[in-house]
Amino acid sequence: MYQSVESYRNQRNYNCRIRELVYQGVRQVNLENEYLHIGVLAGKGSDIFEFVYKPMDLDFMWHSFHGVKNPQTFVTTKNSRYGRFLDLYEGGWQELFPNYGAASTYMNAELGIHGEVCVAQWDYQIEKDTEEEITVKFEIRTAKTPFYLEKWMTLKSGDPTLYIRERVTNEGAVPLQFMWGHHPALGAPFLDGNCEIIINGDCKVHTLNIQSALPANRQMDWPVVKDVNGNELDLSRVRNPGEKKYLEYGISGIEDSRYCVWNHGLHIGFGMEWEKDMFPYLWIWEPNCAAQGYPWYGRNYTLGCEPWSVLAESMEEVEREDAGIKIEAGMSIETHLKAYVCLEYHSGAPL
């Protein structure tokens, strides 16, 4: 049937398809199949700012009060030593590279919060466009560091899964280190107090030197821990925004390098899988509207579940501890991830 339709139509509105457009002055690429609508801001970080499960018209991503801003035209009233990430943050899912966390200096390069690529414009090209499968390649060369980052996003017909393949190349003439992470932030209407974070394994909770409801620089057993006041806290349970309890921590020991955030009220979840050798940690950012100052002012009800390469706050720490990912001059490193809709609940076994 579809083959005959394809022969006389120049636009496909069924199965897999791609749309290119401009939204708020930013180049956008939409990847769709029967189940998913994936909105990607090629003009701003290759951010996945829409991850919609079409049968329920449900977007898993958090949409910030900032909305989408064009990095090419946005003018701030004062340049921050931390960079532009927070001024431009629209929510959704960012690529964090070649650093994340605090602003850092590495080999004399001054890097802002969460790295270079999350606030920059990416190039892209459509590599496959059929009703059975679509693939778009996004690519960027960093300005302050000599990296070339390539990312392929793929959807397949009948599959509620986004497949991601990535490759980092060191185009410099010296060995380098880097931090690498993904920053998907979930939000309402999917996110509420009915949500549960499901992971497998003998997992450990790690806190860094970050102001939080958890004691700093500690290691505890997942999921029940003691907060700064000595009260028990089940970290697998997502809080309601009214609880205003700020949480940030890392998790190690995830057996199968995957998670599912399951909403017991909606009977659906958001899941991710990744390669453990590349991303051995999962960083959890759960502010629960507790941050009162810039840039949140009590408005950030979101849950970030972020695969990270190293538990560190800055590139200075990575360099000092000889940590992070190391790459020789001229060499490349590849990895794969996927994000998907969880349609069944299995306690302790995310699907």
pLDDT digit string, tens, across residues 158-183 = 999 999 999 999 999 999 999 999 99
Of 20-24, 168-172, 328-332, 346-350, the least confident? 346-350
Helix (H/G/I), strand (E/B), else coil: 56: helix
Binned at pLDDT 50, 70 and 90, residue 329 comes out as very high
Q: Flag whether 285 is in a domain.
A: yes
Is 145 part of any domain? Answer: yes
Q: Is residue 350 part of a domain?
A: no
pLDDT for residue 214 is more than 90:
yes
How far, in Å, are 90, 95, 132, 206, 248 from residue 283 at the CA level? 19, 14, 34, 9, 7
pLDDT at 349 over 60: no
Least confident of 32-41, 62-71, 75-84, 89-98: 75-84
How far is residue 300's CA from residue 290's CA, in Å, rounded to a whole number?
Answer: 8
Boundaries of domain holding 321: 17-342
> What residues contact residue 92 under an 8 Å CB cut-off, 6+ apart?
41, 47, 48, 49, 50, 51, 61, 62, 63, 184, 185
Please provide the average confidence, as pLDDT, over all residues in the chain.
94
Question: Is 201 within a domain?
Answer: yes
Please tell me the total count of domains within the chain: 1
Give the per-residue pLDDT at 1: 47
Closest to 183 (Cα-Cα) out of 44, 323, 47, 39: 47
CATH number reported for the structural domain that contains residue 39 in this entry: 2.70.98.10
Q: Which amino acid, 64?
A: S
Summarised one tens digit per residue, pLDDT across range 96-112 is 999 999 999 999 999 99
Q: Is residue 122 part of a domain?
A: yes
Answer for the pair 51, 32: CB distance below 8 angstroms, yes or no. no
pLDDT at 40: 98
Residue 129 half-sphere exposure toward CB, CA atoms < 13 A? 17
Do residues 48 and 38 touch, judged by C-beta distance below 8 A?
A: yes
Q: Which of 185, 135, 153, 159 is nearest to 54 (CA)?
A: 159
Asked whether residue 347 carries a pLDDT value surpassing 80, the answer given is no
pLDDT for res 7: 62
Q: Which residues of 221-254 are buried (b: 16+ CB within 10 A; e: fewer)?
A: ebbebeeeeeeebebeebbebeebbbbbbbbbbb
Q: Is residue 349 part of a domain?
A: no
Give the mean model confidence (pLDDT) for residues 125-152: 98
Both tokens of residue 214? 């958890």
Residue 9 has pLDDT above 90, yes or no: no
Residue tagged 């996945």 (tokens): 48
Omega within 30 of 0 (cis) for the link into 98? yes
In a domain, 246, yes or no: yes
Please give the pLDDT value at position 81. Answer: 83
- At residue 6, the pLDDT reads 62
**Confidence bin at 242 (pLDDT 50/70/90):** confident
Please check the confidence at residue 351 and state whether its pLDDT lies above 70.
no
Average pLDDT, stretch 41-61? Answer: 98
pLDDT at 290 over 80: yes
* Neighbour tally for 8: CB within 10 Å: 6
Please indicate, yes or no, if residue 82 is contained in any of the structural domains. Answer: yes
